[in-house]
Amino acid sequence: MSNERAIESVLAANGHRLTPSRRTVVAAVLAGDDLFSVADLRQRIPRVGRATVFRAVKLLVDCELVCRVRLEDGSLRYRLRAAADHHHHLVCTGCGSVEDFSECDLDAMSKTLAGRTHYEIQAHRLEIYGLCPECRVASTAR
């Protein structure tokens, strides 16, 4: 099954259609780099309106087909969801590469925090920033 067909199946399972505009956005996501912004998509598909691109990306995030990645500078990027389960991101501050990881011991902390603050903790997101092995080698070679 192609990636576009897989995305279409997930959207259908969630009660959404892959409309022509959404199909154009999905094609741009699949054809682009690992990390992308809405502005990147807009440059690739200028004939699709800004609001339509934002709504399509939000839908892809809501259906867990795309995940958000917050870079160290605070900017927001997106990428196709590589991990099927709950995961987090390791972000290289040198080259900007992103790696998924699923180890997460935040459950105990979430329960403690919920008990102390009386919040109902619904989710968490974690990005860890550092230098990938290639950037570490490059930084020590200087």
Over residues 33-87, the pLDDT tens digits come to: 889 999 999 999 999 999 999 999 999 999 989 999 999 898 999 999 876 677 8
Task: Please check whether residues 107 and 124 belong to one and the same domain.
Answer: yes
Task: Please check whether residues 48 and 110 belong to one and the same domain.
Answer: no
How open is the CA angle 17-65-93, to the nearest 5 degrees?
145
Task: Please check whether residues 57 and 39 belong to one and the same domain.
Answer: yes
How open is the CA angle 43-10-31, to the nearest 5 degrees?
30
**CATH number of the domain that 49 lies in?**
1.10.10.10
Q: What is the pLDDT of residue 84?
A: 66
- Taking only the tens place, the pLDDT of each residue in 78-111 is 999 876 677 888 999 999 899 888 877 788 888 9
Task: Please check whether residues 50 and 108 belong to one and the same domain.
Answer: no
Cα(133)–Cα(103) distance, integer angstroms? 20
Q: What is the pLDDT of residue 17?
A: 92
pTM score > 0.85 for this model? no
Cα(96)–Cα(129) distance, integer angstroms? 9
Task: Please check whether residues 71 and 48 belong to one and the same domain.
Answer: yes
What is the count of structural domains for the chain? Answer: 2
Q: Which residues pair with 90 in a beta bridge?
A: 99, 128
Q: Compute the radius of gyration of the chain from its Cα atoms.
A: 18
Which candidate, 100, 70, 105, places its Cα nearest to that of 85? 100
Task: Please check whether residues 89 and 55 belong to one and the same domain.
Answer: no
Amino acid at position 56, single letter: A
Task: Please check whether residues 110 and 72 belong to one and the same domain.
Answer: no
**Can you give the residue range of the structural domain that contains 75?**
1-81
Task: Please check whether residues 55 and 89 belong to one and the same domain.
Answer: no
Task: Please check whether residues 5 and 48 belong to one and the same domain.
Answer: yes
3-state secondary structure 28-50: HHHHCCCCECHHHHHHHCCCCCH
Task: Please check whether residues 16 and 55 belong to one and the same domain.
Answer: yes
Task: Please check whether residues 54 and 89 belong to one and the same domain.
Answer: no
Task: Tell which of 42, 57, 81 closes a domain.
Answer: 81
Residue 18 to residues 39, 65, 71, Cα–Cα distance (Å): 21, 13, 29
